[in-house]
Amino acid sequence: MAITDFHPELRAAARRLPRAPIRPGVLPAVRRLQNLQKRLPAPGVEVLTTAEGITIRLHRPPGRTEPGPALLWIHGGGYVIGTAQQDDRMCRRLARELGITIAATEYRLAPEHPYPAGLEDCYAALQWLARLPAVDPTRIAIGGASAGGGLAAALAFWARDRGEVKPVAQLLVYPMLDDRSGHHTHLDKVEARLWNRRSNQFGWSAYLRDADPDSAVPARRTDLGGLPPAWIGVGTLDLFHDEDIVYAERLMAANVPCELEVVEGAFHGFDQIAAKTLVSQEFFASQAEHLRTAFAV
């Protein structure tokens, strides 16, 4: 694949990015770096710990005086790395522009904590958010990027089946939905940035371990009816492109409203790596509009 296959605004970033940054040997070093970053000051962010011991980074909109809409945000990292802090900039911006409360949750990571540990943490955080005095429990959305999008999709099933909190929307940003993609050799022709097929195999095997994939993997679930309306966004040069398109089609076939945003020539995580480009700004605006519409209902 030539560098010219990437979106013109993303070519410079694509040249600099690694193609397979995460593998077992580098995992400890990446986590050490992220733990150091956690110690940096974060003006305007409340860092809270729930009764269950889950850390929440809370972004409150300015001027909020009565219960309003909220978003539970789940960070990415292939189920094995990542922190809620990495999405502070995006969460602050969404909270400010939409006037919503955003709770970005930490969750236990694999391989030390395989399924369902991380998903249990996300569900507990959703329940916590619904009880927050500043939040209208009838106007809560769930969302995440990459593995966080996969967890958000899985969380939508738990919320539907348990009926305790009923999200009004799910925001799935290039979500990691299907463990079977790691075995599709045709994806090798995609010179993926940030996350490739081998990384995907490692992330899913660490997360699933001995779990039944038919229950744990969103793309393997058979009954998609009754899930919250969804927004799914992905680039054409993202490893998750095919699985995300198929999942969007299955949602629509199950009569679940789904808005699909496909960005030509975009790689995984492009909107965070090249946040100031017009293509990334438009990607963000599409997400914000989906939430604005969901919260207005």
75, 121, 146, 244: which one is catalytic? 146
Would you call 19 helix, strand, or coil by DSSP? coil
Pull the structure tokens for residue 67: 């219960």
Please tell me the distance from the alpha carbon of residue 274 to that of residue 251, in angstroms, as a whole number.
30
Please tell me the distance from the alpha carbon of residue 216 to that of residue 45, in angstroms, as a whole number.
32
Report how far Cα 1 is from the mean position of its chain's Cα atoms. Answer: 27
59, 75, 268, 290: which one is catalytic? 268
Catalytic site includes residue 188: no
Catalytic site includes residue 268: yes
Nearest alpha-carbon partner for 131 in 195, 42, 67: 67
Helix (H) or strand (E) run with residue 56 in it: strand 55-59
Q: 97: which residues sit within 8 A by CB, 6+ positions away?
A: 288
Contact yes or no for 279/7 (Cβ under 8 A)? yes
88, 178, 179, 238: which one is catalytic? 238
Catalytic site includes residue 271: no
Angle between the N-to-C axes of helices 147-162 and 117-131, in degrees from 0 to 180, rounded to the nearest 10:
60
The DSSP-derived string for 212-280 is -HHHH-GGG-S--TTPPPEEEEEETTSTTHHHHHHHHHHHHHTT--EEEEEETTPPTTHHHHTTTSHHH
Please tell me the distance from the alpha carbon of residue 230 to that of residue 260, in angstroms, as a whole number.
8
Known catalytic residues are 146, 238, 268
